[in-house]
Amino acid sequence: MNVSDSGVPVPPQLSWRKRYKAWRQNASKQCFSRLLASPRGCQLIKSYRVLSHPVQFVRRKQLATQIAASAAPIRVPREKGYTLLDARTLPGFDRIRDLSLQLFAERHDQLDKIQAEYQAINQKKFMVNLLYDEDLKTHPEWIEFALNEPLLNAVSLYFGQVPVLRRIALILSINNGEEHPASSQLFHQDGEDFQQLKLFVNLQDVQLPHGPFSFLPADVTERALARYRADHASPPENFRYPDDALMSYCQPGELVQATGPEGQALLVDTSRCMHYGSRLQPGHARFVLMIQFLCYHNLTDTKFSQIDPTLFANDPKRHLAVTPRTFPKKSYYVNPFTA
């Protein structure tokens, strides 16, 4: 390294190729951010994704059409954007429940370290993920359950194409002592795409003190947002809406809260439905299984579970479901005790 006349080290000059590469990457990020800021820009990104991977688009559409021609026990109404179901009727639930409770018992005494690791990824002090990528390799039953026939058919019909299994998580919500809701404890919509589906399964009895997942159905969300925009020049900071900002445009009883016994489940479009969760009262916790599905041509790439893309080679539909457009270069959900 060179040294200036005053003895201060001077970093070496980058070559023009490296400077150009850095400039191009920065310009690309800025352009992408500006496009995401507008509905028309999002549509342009979506169109670009589809045009860049036309074979995947056509193949996934074809398989979804075949599913639509057959009977499907689970349906998610487009108007509402959600459906309630009993996860105990899904193949493999008993095994997944037992595995979940086993992991909870094993890792409960190590929550401080697990929480520190999770906060480094997610910046949330009120929840932790107890399921690591290595668990998915050790127990592929998690993936088998997430891609069971009734569930995968329901998601495919809702999207109009075979989805990508993006993430499997065991979420433990805890009361962190904060008086005011923050982050995902406030009303918001998930921004990975125009639509997505998340399955939330209660792994213990969940009542109001446990801070249940709470949301406004898609049609109610659309109406409330239209009225909010008519009365306000811009959305709130980070698109996090205080309760009174939205509920003043809703009717009593339109807020749906995912309470219920073990096995009660909710399949909900968190991109179209305003929602919040994890508002726990002191002394309570909530333990749920969360499975996330996105379209292959989703708008933005977020952290997701590492799932072996070579799985289900002889099952076209499930093989597509474990084949993402971009595969993570690193594991985001690692075991902090073995990393």
pLDDT, tens only, 179-204: 677 778 899 999 889 999 999 999 99
Which pLDDT score, from 0 to 100, does residue 43 have? 87
SS3 200: strand
Residues 73, 259: Cα–Cα separation, whole Å: 22
**Confidence grade of residue 309 (pLDDT, cut at 50, 70, 90):** confident
Nearest to 44 by CA among 324, 325, 301, 299: 299
Residue 312 pLDDT exceeds 80? yes
Which pLDDT score, from 0 to 100, does residue 23 have? 65
Tell me how crowded residue 313 is: count the other CB atoms within 10 A of its CB. 9
Residue with tokens 């670009």: 48
Residues 204, 190: Cα–Cα separation, whole Å: 25
Residue 338 pLDDT exceeds 60? no
Average pLDDT over residues 46-58: 91
Average pLDDT over residues 39-58: 89
Judged by average pLDDT, the poorest of 85-89, 95-99, 113-117 is 113-117
Q: Give the DSSP H or E segment for 129.
A: strand 127-129
Which pLDDT score, from 0 to 100, does residue 196 have? 96
Which pLDDT score, from 0 to 100, does residue 339 have? 52
Which pLDDT score, from 0 to 100, does residue 32 have? 60
Nearest to 235 by CA among 225, 224, 244: 225
Residues 197, 154: Cα–Cα separation, whole Å: 10
Which pLDDT score, from 0 to 100, does residue 20 have? 65
Residue 274 pLDDT exceeds 70? yes
Residue 121 pLDDT exceeds 90? no
* pLDDT averaged over every residue in the chain: 86
Instruction: Determine whether 211 is exposed, middle or buried from the number of CB atoms within 10 Å of its CB (0-12, 13-18, 19+).
Output: buried
**Confidence grade of residue 175 (pLDDT, cut at 50, 70, 90):** confident
Residues 309, 166: Cα–Cα separation, whole Å: 12
Which pLDDT score, from 0 to 100, does residue 283 have? 86
Average pLDDT over residues 73-79: 92
Q: 206 has which bridge partners? A: 260
**Confidence grade of residue 222 (pLDDT, cut at 50, 70, 90):** very high
What Å distances lie between residue 263 and 108, 201, 209, 315, CA to CA? 21, 6, 18, 28
SS3 236: coil
Which pLDDT score, from 0 to 100, does residue 110 have? 77
Per the CB < 8 A criterion, the answer to whether 240 and 188 are in contact is yes
Query: Six-digit token pair at 141?
Result: 């039953």
Judged by average pLDDT, the poorest of 120-124, 143-147, 237-241 is 120-124
Which pLDDT score, from 0 to 100, does residue 252 have? 81
Query: Six-digit token pair at 157?
Result: 């019909």
Residue 55 pLDDT exceeds 90? yes
> Which range, 62-76, 128-142, 255-269, 294-308, has the best average confidence (pLDDT)?
255-269
Residue 29 pLDDT exceeds 80? no
Using a pLDDT cut of 90, give the percent of the chain over it. 52
**Confidence grade of residue 119 (pLDDT, cut at 50, 70, 90):** low
Range list of H helices, 89-215: 93-107, 111-122, 133-138, 141-146, 149-159
**Confidence grade of residue 308 (pLDDT, cut at 50, 70, 90):** confident
Which pLDDT score, from 0 to 100, does residue 310 have? 86
Residue pLDDT, tens place only, 160-173: 999 999 999 999 98
